[in-house]
Amino acid sequence: MINRFRIFSLALIFLGELLLAEEMLTLTGQPATARFIQETLQIRYGVNIPVTRDLDLGETASYNCGSSNITVYVQPAPENKTDMLLLSNEPEDIYGEGILFRKILKSGFKVRIVYYHRSKSLEPIYFRMELAGKEKQILHCLQATGGPSRDGIAAGHQATKRYLEKCQKEEGEYLIMPPSDEMTLLEQKLLPEQIASGYVELNNLSKNDAEIIFYATRQTDQIPWYRIHPPQQDKQISGIFFNPQQNILASIEVSEDMVQSFRIGDEPFLVDFVTGRTLKGNYGLLYKYQLTFINTTARPAQLKVYAAGHGGSARATFLIDGKLRETGLLAATNKVQELDTIIIDDKREVEIVTIPQPGSNYPVGLIFKSKGDLSSEY
């Protein structure tokens, strides 16, 4: 997809100054994988060229994109924590054109945007997210999309899996937008009954506020002037939620027959800053478990890690000590699935990161068991 406005990217970070240049991409990643570089060239320049190797911090590479060469630089990602979650799921079904949300991103703020929508339009429709501002903008952007698909669980899982992969490697892009301009961040084309889901993290590094606009349109060059309003009885929720990360610290003694469980997407629920409504399922809330296991047995302990469905049909994705683990479908006949095995000699620290994914029914259980297999009825 080629942007309808020319995109300039940060090209070099030198002595704390941001130097800008045309036809350059400044990416982040440890490393920036070949897959990520190829995806970004496709999004920003509309070219699909093979990229065969990863780039480490400080490395550069040039790619022939037809009319010009694109130079890619890899720099460190900013370390700002995420200040707020912006969720777009109300209404879930979109019948025509209109604005889904229009929000201001304050200078110095970082937002995680999560969306999940189904097209009920009788003709193809585009979901597009744009950035606008009166002054020059400098941002860091991470995005991951899922779909389009008629399978909502699959679309949400695809987006979440890609999001966690990028988070683990700190993959993102530095962007610059000239004054009084607009920039297309993402675009997804949906046919009738298809579902789109995705994550966009934006870190506003400039001194000026920016505006984020997310809308549905049948046009390719026009923002609708009217909003899409949800039906009065709509059960979904959109809103603004602050502090969208939960850090869980725990010390756990491992005995001969130990079971320890955590519930992801359960109470306490996030609360919408504007309406006061609760977000059941905590979709978009990042859970980070930092667990210390202490072996109290006389020999090395083998600890199995499981995921269990407690809210209905769902899939789940985890980073366990940086390694991606995912479930198949957690359903009534297959509620428990094994994720990993952890060996503990005397003491071991384990980090697990996960996030309730759009399209799935949460809560989902995260369970540790030291002996035998876990019953499917757990």
Output 226 or 138, whichever has higher pLDDT.
Answer: 138
Distance separating alpha carbons of residues 3 and 257, to the nearest angstrom: 57
pLDDT at position 8 over 50: no
Could you read off the pLDDT of 133-188 as tens digits, one per residue? Answer: 888 899 999 999 999 999 999 999 999 999 999 999 999 999 988 888 889 999 99
- Percent of the chain at pLDDT above 90? 75
Output the pLDDT for position 45: 86
Structurally, at CATH architecture level, domain 244-369 sits in: Sandwich (2.60)
Find residue 246's DSSP bridge partners. Answer: 287
Q: Among 230-234, 293-297, 310-314, 360-364, which stretch is predicted with the lowest mean pLDDT?
A: 230-234
Would you call 151 exposed, middle or buried from its count of C-beta atoms within 10 A (0-12, 13-18, 19+)? middle
**Nearest one of 176, 116, 180 to 146, comparing CA atoms:** 116
Q: Among 17-31, 248-262, 279-293, which stretch is predicted with the lowest mean pLDDT?
A: 17-31
Output the pLDDT for position 100: 93
Cβ atoms within 10 Å of 5's Cβ, excluding its own: 13
| Residues sharing a CB contact under 8 Å with residue 151, sequence separation 6 or more, in sequence order | 195
Q: Among 210-214, 247-251, 297-301, which stretch is predicted with the lowest mean pLDDT?
A: 297-301
Instruction: Report the chain's mean pLDDT, rounded to a whole number.
Output: 89
Could you read off the pLDDT of 278-318 as tens digits, one per residue? Answer: 999 999 999 999 999 999 998 999 999 999 999 889 999 99
Could you read off the pLDDT of 54-90 as tens digits, one per residue? Answer: 999 999 999 987 778 899 999 999 987 899 999 999 9
Distance separating alpha carbons of residues 50 and 31, to the nearest angstrom: 17
Structure tokens at 71: 């130079």
Would you call 269 exposed, middle or buried from its count of C-beta atoms within 10 A (0-12, 13-18, 19+)? middle
Domain limits of the chain?
8-75, 84-241, 244-369
Output the pLDDT for position 1: 38
Q: Among 98-112, 208-222, 280-294, which stretch is predicted with the lowest mean pLDDT?
A: 208-222
pLDDT band at 103 (very low <50, low <70, confident <90, very high): very high
Contact 289, 351 (CB under 8 A): yes
Mapped onto helix, strand or coil, the DSSP state of residue 78 is coil
Distance separating alpha carbons of residues 65 and 374, to the nearest angstrom: 52
Contact 114, 88 (CB under 8 A): yes
Pairing of strands 84-88, 110-119: parallel
Structure tokens at 5: 């406005």
Contact 265, 283 (CB under 8 A): yes
Output the pLDDT for position 225: 66
Distance separating alpha carbons of residues 253 and 75, to the nearest angstrom: 41
